[in-house]
Amino acid sequence: MNHKTCLVIGGTGGIGRAMVEQLVDSTSEKESRQVFATYHKNVPDFAAENLHWIPMDICDEQSIKQAVDVIRQHTTHIDWAINCAGLLHTATQQPEKALRQVETEFFLQNMQVNALASLLIAKHIKPLLASACRSNDNPAVFATISARVGSISDNQLGGWYSYRMSKAALNMGMKNLSIEWSRSLKDVCVVVMQPGTVNTQLSAPFQGNVADGQLFSPAYSAECLLEVLSRMTAAQSGSFVDWAGESIPW
Ligand SMILES: NC(=O)c1ccc[n+]([C@@H]2O[C@H](COP(=O)([O-])OP(=O)(O)OC[C@H]3O[C@@H](n4cnc5c(N)ncnc54)[C@H](OP(=O)(O)O)[C@@H]3O)[C@@H](O)[C@H]2O)c1
């Protein structure tokens, strides 16, 4: 029996919750899963025997460390860590349409949630990935949901300074990490992913221009992303891919 231990950060978000539900449910006779999932402001409203909820504020390194300490009490290793937390708008601020709307606090909040957090999570989770049983074809995974709008070469529209810049910074951070870990932590695949345009509270104000059939349900996006992850090899570490596994230019 194949056993996987998975960690989903942002497990109460739109895509994160769908990931948690599918990982918990995919336990079968051939494969069993233990799932750790983190929550922040929204308290989780579902439970399962193989699911363990832990609080984590990804803007607070001490909170990340404490969550990892709790995980360590239950498992020796993590096979897959998937960061689904992210920020596009807040109750009071929308992404910028023009330069005059750029504000320091919102910009730094985007950088902290979307870019810095994955680095800090990687820093603390590394020993648990290091203890995973892995190979090139079956690597440990450190995945973060990024966004196509973080691609510099794909940028045709402009706008959304804080979000675009924070996702571009995330992408650089994860590329850097993939290079460092290719030397110091073999057979781990570091990947940043575009989930499609997904029907969640994050995209809700911006769904007007989405073409028919192009707005994914969280369940569909999560299923596609998990399928892509299941096919990743360690040799593909440092990739930026979409929900179909297609490579996205930096
Ligand atoms: N939806 C789309 O169309 C789309 C497209 C491209 C990329 N993405 C990316 O996909 C990821 C998931 O987005 P989503 O659509 O599922 O959005 P969502 O429903 O708003 O989920 C975002 C999650 O991030 C969590 N989060 C925010 N700040 C946090 C913090 N300081 N500490 C811990 N958790 C925090 C939120 O928890 P709390 O609310 O409890 O703080 C929430 O669970 C994001 O990175 C987003 O940029 C989404």
Q: Which one, of 14, 241, 219, 79, lies nearest residue 150 by Cα?
A: 241
Q: Token pair for residue 72?
A: 């360590």
**Alpha carbons within 13 A on the beta-carbon side of 121:** 33
197-198 and 80-83 strand pairing: unpaired
Superfamily the domain 2-242 falls into: NAD(P)-binding Rossmann-like Domain (3.40.50.720)
- Ligand 1 contact via 202 beta carbon (within 6 Å): yes
Could you tell me where the beta strands, DSSP code E, fall in the chain?
A: 2-9, 31-39, 51-55, 80-83, 140-145, 188-194, 197-198, 215-216, 239-242
Give residue 67 CA to ligand 1 midpoint distance, Å: 18
Q: Which one, of 150, 3, 4, lies nearest residue 82 by Cα?
A: 4
Q: Which one, of 118, 113, 83, 114, lies nearest residue 8 by Cα?
A: 83
Rg (CA), the chain: 17
Question: pLDDT by residue (tens digit) across 55-92?
Answer: 999 999 999 999 999 999 999 999 999 999 999 999 99
- Is it the case that residue 29 has pLDDT exceeding 70? no
Which residue type, as a one-letter code, is found at position 114?
A: N
Q: Which of 20, 89, 200, 210 should be mutated for ligand 1, with most atoms under 8 A from CB?
A: 200
Pair 5, 74: CB distance under 8 Å: no
161 vs 164: CA distance, rounded Å: 5
- Ligand 1 contact via 201 beta carbon (within 6 Å): yes
CA distances to 121, 189, 216, 236, 248 from 175, in Å:
15, 11, 27, 11, 13
Give residue 201 CA to ligand 1 midpoint distance, Å: 9
Residue with the smallest CA separation from ligand 1 atom 40 is 41
Question: pLDDT by residue (tens digit) across 101-142?
Answer: 999 999 999 999 999 999 999 999 999 999 999 999 999 999
Of the pLDDT bands very low, low, confident and very high (cuts 50, 70, 90), residue 27 is low
